[in-house]
Amino acid sequence: MGTCTIRSKIEADITNEDRLGRRDILKCFGAAIGMEIIASSGPFIEVVNAADLIQRRQRSEFQSSIKGTLYTAIKGNPDLIPFILTLSLNDAMTYDKATKSGGPNGSIRFSSEISRPENKGLSAALNLLEEAKKEIDSYSKGGPISYADLIQFSAQSALKATFLASAIRKCGGNEEKGNLVYTAYGSNGQWGLFDREFGRSDAQEPDPEGRVFQWEKASVQEMKDKFSAIGLGPRQLAVMSAFLGPDQAATETLLAADPQVAPWVEKYQRSRETISETDYEVDLITTLTKISSLGQNINYEAYTYPVQKVDFSKLKL
């Protein structure tokens, strides 16, 4: 419908105010003009939507490649899995709610931070990730991956490796059956939100000292207080036991001595004995997702690369 046709229709409607109030007529006029603008700008909307889809695909493809690289690196170094998990936790737990500073920002890569007592033994894990980063950056079309993303996605890969290893173990060591069980009963679908939180920014200096302590030397109350400071409770502390030092069994024995944490420790131990491990895996993925985005303003356009620009001067509105 052209503008002149719309105007004629409105003039005809004005002569029939018994049927339509003046306010209704104006609404009709505005809606009609709006529909004409939308119709005439169709190509523009299609271009915008196409660009958005292209960026999503770029990020998805890059993320898939990252996971492949990290999976290969971690598979060849399974002994480093506990240290990779602690590395990701310690990088994130520098978050200070009062000042909204710190968090999973890759600051643990700085020599002055990785050398702190609470990060003792984590250098080998960081070195492994730095080697993986070189490979990732070599095929990235949208710039180098941030250490912040690299460290948190390495934790995801490490967890998936432990979940898969558990499934294989329950299948008597048969890898084919273990892979099938994990595919059928695992919790891969729960990683959706974690995967979207992709685009963390790196800190340009170490985070302040004293925000993280040596987990294996801390009391349960100290750990509860630290988790409470970021909005998490005994349940989340219990499910993160694998991140709190290289010996998960020893950590859980300590946590089980606390009456608030003990029921959750027992719950997750029972869950890990099942084929699916659903309760344990889902809660662990949920908790890691929250911790790995503390204080971060995610750049949802990170790692995308230029697409054809729209020439607005050629669009007919």
Residue 9 has pLDDT above 60, yes or no: no
- Is 298 a member of any domain? no
Are 130 and 257 found together in one domain? yes
Kindly list the distances between the CA atom of residue 234 and the CA atoms of 77, 86, 87, 103, 260, in Å, as whole numbers in the listed order.
31, 18, 21, 20, 6
- Is 190 a member of any domain? yes
Predicted confidence at residue 42, as pLDDT, reads 53
CA torsion through residues 173, 175, 180, 184, sign: positive
Contact 201, 296 (CB under 8 A): yes
Most confidently modeled range among 9-23, 39-53, 243-257: 243-257
Number of domains in the chain: 2
Residue 126 has pLDDT above 90, yes or no: yes
Q: Indicate the burial class of 95 (C-beta count within 10 angstroms; 0-12, 13-18, 19 or more).
A: buried
Q: How many CB atoms lie within 10 A of CB 213?
A: 17
Are 152 and 253 found together in one domain? yes
Residue with the bigger pLDDT between 67 and 316: it is: 67
**130 pLDDT tier (thresholds 50, 70, 90):** very high
Are 106 and 78 found together in one domain? yes
Q: What 3-state class would DSSP assign to 101? A: strand
- Is 308 a member of any domain? no
Are 10 and 73 found together in one domain? no
- Is 303 a member of any domain? no
Structure tokens at 271: 């869950």
Residue 28 has pLDDT above 50, yes or no: no
Predicted confidence at residue 52, as pLDDT, reads 84
Nearest to 246 by CA among 70, 78, 73: 78
Predicted confidence at residue 149, as pLDDT, reads 98
Residue with the bigger pLDDT between 167 and 48: it is: 167
Are 99 and 240 found together in one domain? yes
Predicted confidence at residue 31, as pLDDT, reads 46
Residue with the bigger pLDDT between 233 and 24: it is: 233
Are 9 and 78 found together in one domain? no
H helices of 76-211, in order, are 81-92, 111-114, 123-139, 147-170, 175-185, 192-196
Domain that holds residue 103: 60-291
Predicted confidence at residue 304, as pLDDT, reads 95
- Is 262 a member of any domain? yes
Average of pLDDT values for 156-183?
Answer: 95
- Is 314 a member of any domain? no
Residue 20 has pLDDT above 50, yes or no: no
H helices of 15-146, in order, are 22-40, 42-75, 81-92, 111-114, 123-139
Are 30 and 89 found together in one domain? no
The CATH number of whichever domain residue 272 belongs to comes to: 1.10.520.10
Are 31 and 124 found together in one domain? no
Predicted confidence at residue 317, as pLDDT, reads 62
Question: How far apart are the two ends of the chain, measured CA to CA in Å?
Answer: 14
Contact 215, 244 (CB under 8 A): yes
Structure tokens at 188: 């891969």
Q: What 3-state class would DSSP assign to 96? A: strand
Residue 216 has pLDDT above 80, yes or no: yes
Residue 45 has pLDDT above 70, yes or no: no
Q: DSSP character for 276?
A: S
Are 225 and 168 found together in one domain? yes
Predicted confidence at residue 17, as pLDDT, reads 44
- Is 255 a member of any domain? yes
Average of per-residue pLDDT values in the chain: 87
Average of pLDDT values for 155-165?
Answer: 97
Residue with the bigger pLDDT between 2 and 282: it is: 282
Contact 256, 161 (CB under 8 A): no
Predicted confidence at residue 168, as pLDDT, reads 95
Are 87 and 154 found together in one domain? yes
Residue 135 has pLDDT above 60, yes or no: yes
Contact 260, 224 (CB under 8 A): yes
Give percent of the chain above pLDDT 70: 80
Residue 127 has pLDDT above 60, yes or no: yes
Are 183 and 265 found together in one domain? yes
- Is 52 a member of any domain? no
Residue 15 has pLDDT above 60, yes or no: no
Please write the tens of the pLDDT for every residue from 229-280.
999 999 999 999 999 999 999 999 999 999 999 999 999 999 999 999 999 9
Residue 153 has pLDDT above 70, yes or no: yes
Are 136 and 22 found together in one domain? no
